[in-house]
Structure 1
């Protein structure tokens, strides 16, 4: 979402496109699209396509629909006017952003999982939990651990 808003602002500043109709004068014209349609499509692709192969296939279909159907429709109804921009650039943009975001998320998840494995409870906490479990099995009170071995 932030990437889309940033690149949309850059495209406006460099006159790659313009928005003839402003929804609200205080927000960027494509803000509703940048915070709803594009991020939601990426979230759905990521959620329902677990493998890279299926994700890339779905990503190409989504990029095709957005770049060669959605954008020409918006251009036709005068929501956007492309000055120095081509639909093929948008097609490549949608694919590259989707692949980059998926790679970033998968890397973040793997780092998070590896940190969870390294960050185990201290030895005395694990030993205490083992003693509690053993006392529940034997029926002893939680305070009577004096005769339990501590190896």
Structure 2
């Protein structure tokens, strides 16, 4: 007896069933809860703060840094969710598997402000280490406590070097592009 692999149609049908379950869960368990309002707040308010603080003369490189970092963060988050390293019981929008408000709100804004205020590598790395400590050991446990973020096959300490490395990589990339453009 041979096991039959699922067909694309089987997977598509299962995906549709999961979508329907997620939508029902989101409508009954997520929408307009305290966590939902908090996620809305963490998505919108940091951007208002950022707009007031951003150096408008350096807007292009800062936005390039933020956009590239946003793409990287979204990719890493999708991978983590997909391979069950973590999950998000509360979401602002049900159709996205990631925690959009944190990925595209507070984390990106905080990184862009560090990029703006600490242009030199040494201070940038020090500032990112401090921010990584805060996000890893205060912010992440707080979101777990609120039920927004659920660790599955992940530990807080794993996030620490990733916060630093992703920001350093994107800074290096943007700084390299800016130098090439000026030549």
Instruction: Kindly indicate whether residue 112 of structure 2 is the aligned counterpart of residue 43 of structure 1.
Output: yes
- Does structure 1 conserve the Cα–Cα contact (< 8 Å) formed by 2:89 and 2:150? yes
Structure 2 residue matching 1:78: 3-state secondary structure: coil
Matched length: 114
Poorly superposed stretches of 4+, deviation over 3 Å = none
- Does structure 2 conserve the Cα–Cα contact (< 8 Å) formed by 1:21 and 1:29? no
- Does structure 1 conserve the Cα–Cα contact (< 8 Å) formed by 2:92 and 2:100? no
Where does the alignment leave 5 or more consecutive residues of structure 1 unmatched? Answer: 115-151
TM-score by length of 1: 0.73
- Does structure 1 conserve the Cα–Cα contact (< 8 Å) formed by 2:132 and 2:163? yes
Partner of 1:24: 93
Greater C-alpha radius of gyration: 1
Partner of 2:175: 106
Partner of 1:69: 138
Structure with the larger helix share = 2
Note the C-alpha offset of 1:27.
2.4
Note the C-alpha offset of 1:29.
4.1
Residues 107 and 14 (structure 1), Cα distance of their counterparts in 2 relative to 1, 3 Å cut: same
Q: Distance in 1 between matches of 2:155 and 2:114?
A: 24
Structure number with the bigger relative contact order (C-alpha 8 A, sep ≥ 6) is: 2
Q: Distance in 2 between matches of 1:14 and 1:24?
A: 21
Query: What does 1:2-151 align with in structure 2 at a 5 Å threshold?
Result: 2-114=71-183
The two structures, once aligned, show a CA RMSD in angstroms of: 1.0
- Does structure 1 conserve the Cα–Cα contact (< 8 Å) formed by 2:77 and 2:98? no
